[in-house]
Structure 1
C-alpha cells in the first residue's frame, strides 16, 4: 500500500562522497545549497480504512530545513506550522509531471514521517489526495510500478 523513492529527483550518485552532500533515509542536502525532507503523500482508499502512501521528497528553504532538523527528535514537534516546499519526486504514472508541485509539509510526532499536503489543484495526484482512490486504482498503480521496474532492470 505504499511506494517510496530513495532520493530526490535531482540526486546524483556522484554526490554520495561529496563533503557538502548528504543522503539519509529522511533528509538530503545537495552541495550545501538544496535541502530536502522525505514525507508521505497519503491517499485514502475509498470504501476502506486503508491509506495508500507515496514516500516522496520535498525541497525546503534552508531556514525551514534547519528548523525541521533542529526539532527532528523533539517531542511536540507536530505543533509546528507546516513548511512550504516543492515536490522533488517524479511519479511517472502521473501526467503532467509531479516535479515542482507546491506542497505543505506537516511535521508529525517523533518517529512518524511528515505528511505532505499538495496544493489543491487539478493535477491528478492532488485530486487523488483530496477525493481518494479505489482499490482497483491501487492495483493499477502497483501493476504500473511493477512493470516499470521490470523494464528498467531488463
Structure 2
C-alpha cells in the first residue's frame, strides 16, 4: 500500500514513501511535565491521572481512507469519570472486555490541523480485545473531525495532514 500512498510533498519537494497513517499524542492536553513530581499524578502509556482528580485513557479515532483498505488513526486521550476509569481498570486484563457497553468521555487531545478545537468533543470509548487500544467514537456533529470519521477522507487529505504535521508547527492552515 505504501506505493499507492507515495507522494511528492508540496512543502519540501521530496518524494515520500507514503504519508503515515497514524499520529499519536503523548499525553492529554491538560498534562504538564512538572506533574511528574506530583505523587497524585501519573502518565503511563495507556492511562493518565492528574492530581488524583482527572482521569484519562488513550484510544484511537479511526477514519476510513477512501479507495484503500486501511484507516487513518489519531491516537488520542479521552477523559472519563472516576467510576468509568475504575471500571476499565478492573477489566483491563480481562478477556471479553470488549463486550462492555461504551463509556462516555470528553476528547482531551488538541489536533492542531483543525481550525476548530477538538478539546471536549463528546465521545464514546469502546473497549476492544486484549492488546488493542480502545476505539473512540465521536458524537456525530458538524465538527470536521466528526464528519471525517463518519464519511472517510481522501488520499489527498491524508497527504495534507502529513505535510502539515511533518513540516510545520502543526497549526491548521
Q: TM-score, normalised by structure 1?
A: 0.96
Aligned to 1:12: 32
Query: Structure 1: 5+ residue runs without aligned partners?
Result: none
Q: Label 1:150 to 1:94 Cα distance change in 2 as closer, same or farther (>3 A).
A: closer
Distance in structure 2 (CA, Å) of the matches to 1:94 and 1:149: 13
Aligned structure 1 segments of 4 or more residues deviating by more than 2 angstroms: 148-151
Distance in structure 2 (CA, Å) of the matches to 1:61 and 1:55: 20
Aligned to 1:84: 104
Query: Structure 2: 5+ residue runs without aligned partners?
Result: 1-20
Distance in structure 2 (CA, Å) of the matches to 1:142 and 1:69: 34
Distance in structure 2 (CA, Å) of the matches to 1:6 and 1:149: 16
How many pairs align? Answer: 151
Q: TM-score, normalised by structure 2?
A: 0.85
The alignment yields a C-alpha RMSD, in angstroms, of 1.2
Contact between 2:164 and 2:170, CA under 8 Å: does it hold in 1? Answer: no
Q: 1:105 aligns with which of 122, 125, 135?
A: 125
Asked which structure has the greater CA Rg, the reply is 2
| 1:74-115 alpha-carbon deviations (Å, 9 max, x no partner) | 000000000000000000111210000000000000100000
Distance in structure 2 (CA, Å) of the matches to 1:86 and 1:51: 22
